[in-house]
Amino acid sequence: MASVFSGAPPQGGPGYSFTQTPRAAPSGERQHGFYPYTDNGGSTLGISGADFTILAGDTRSTSGYNINTRYAPKLFKIGGEGPDNKGAQIVLSVVGFAADGDALKERLDTIVKMYKYQHGKNMTVSACAQRLSHILYNKRFFPYYVHAILGGLDEEGKGALYSYDPVGSYEREQCRAAGAAASLIMPFLDNQVNFKNQYMPGSGTGHNLQARQAQPLPQNDVEELVRDAFTSAVERHIEVGDGLQMMIITRDGIAETFTPLKKD
């Protein structure tokens, strides 16, 4: 019996002191039950013209079948002065995981503002576009889960539009749709902006048909196309709706418009 109540720590066991390091640690990889991404739905769209660029996005934010809010902008002015980006000449649109989108916007905005502060001149759209690609690629192995589109005017005053994948591949384009309804909007744009599958009437049959040449569209036509693209997307995609925000970048600055969309 004496050995049972000796009071001394058993041989080989841990001492009574809390500071003593324990012997056995739980081993084996623990499974992660946390997925750090979600999809907030919605769609964005950009079209560049001869002397303007239009970016557009719906304002619905979703989680699954829930509507978080009917007004959550996906378009952001980049650069300019102060928190309202006064005098900005670049617009960024992001669609996908909204929290990453906001984080990306804030990083690019600070960088463009710091550029002006350090160099005393505005960042060009092409420089900003390349910088955005680098920001995205810097998180190659934990990406910003967004499809970004950057719009502005190039050094010659022509409309400039850049589109990105989540890890930073980018390309300058005439038009691009992104997000939930991209697959619905993009072929419509191919047809109406780049005149794909359109032929000159009476130019022959079969392979003799002459393709209709694409040319930069006037601003009003493009605004109408954007509205049509979104009203159509609203009909067929449940994550798109509530409102349409547009930003039109010209040499006079950025004009912003809001058009209501169906809320169902």
Residues interacting with other proteins, by CB under 8 A?
4-5, 7, 9-10, 13-14, 16-18, 20-26, 30-34, 36-38, 40, 61, 63, 66, 68-72, 97-99, 102-103, 142, 181, 183-188, 191-192, 201, 228-229, 232-233, 235-236
Quick one: 86 or 157, whose CB is closer to other proteins? Answer: 86
Residues paired with residue 81 on neighbouring β-strands, in sequence order: 86
Give the nearest distance from C-beta 64 to other proteins in angstroms. 10
Give the nearest distance from C-beta 157 to other proteins in angstroms. 30
Identify whether the C-beta of residue 36 lies closer than 8 Å to the C-beta of residue 94.
no
Give the nearest distance from C-beta 37 to other proteins in angstroms. 7
Quick one: 47 or 98, whose CB is closer to other proteins? Answer: 98
Give the nearest distance from C-beta 77 to other proteins in angstroms. 18
Quick one: 98 or 160, whose CB is closer to other proteins? Answer: 98
Quick one: 29 or 156, whose CB is closer to other proteins? Answer: 29
Give the nearest distance from C-beta 185 to other proteins in angstroms. 6
Quick one: 23 or 119, whose CB is closer to other proteins? Answer: 23
227-233: long-range pairs with CB below 8 Å, 24+: 227/259, 228/188, 229/45, 229/177, 229/185, 229/188, 229/189, 230/43, 230/45, 230/56, 230/58, 230/185, 230/261, 231/261, 231/262, 232/184, 232/185, 232/188, 233/43, 233/58, 233/181, 233/184, 233/185
Quick one: 36 or 157, whose CB is closer to other proteins? Answer: 36
Number of helical H runs and strand E runs in the chain: 4, 12
Give the nearest distance from C-beta 152 to other proteins in angstroms. 26
Identify whether the C-beta of residue 76 lies closer than 8 Å to the C-beta of residue 105.
yes
In sequence order, which ranges of the chain are alpha helices (DSSP H)? 98-119, 125-138, 182-192, 219-236
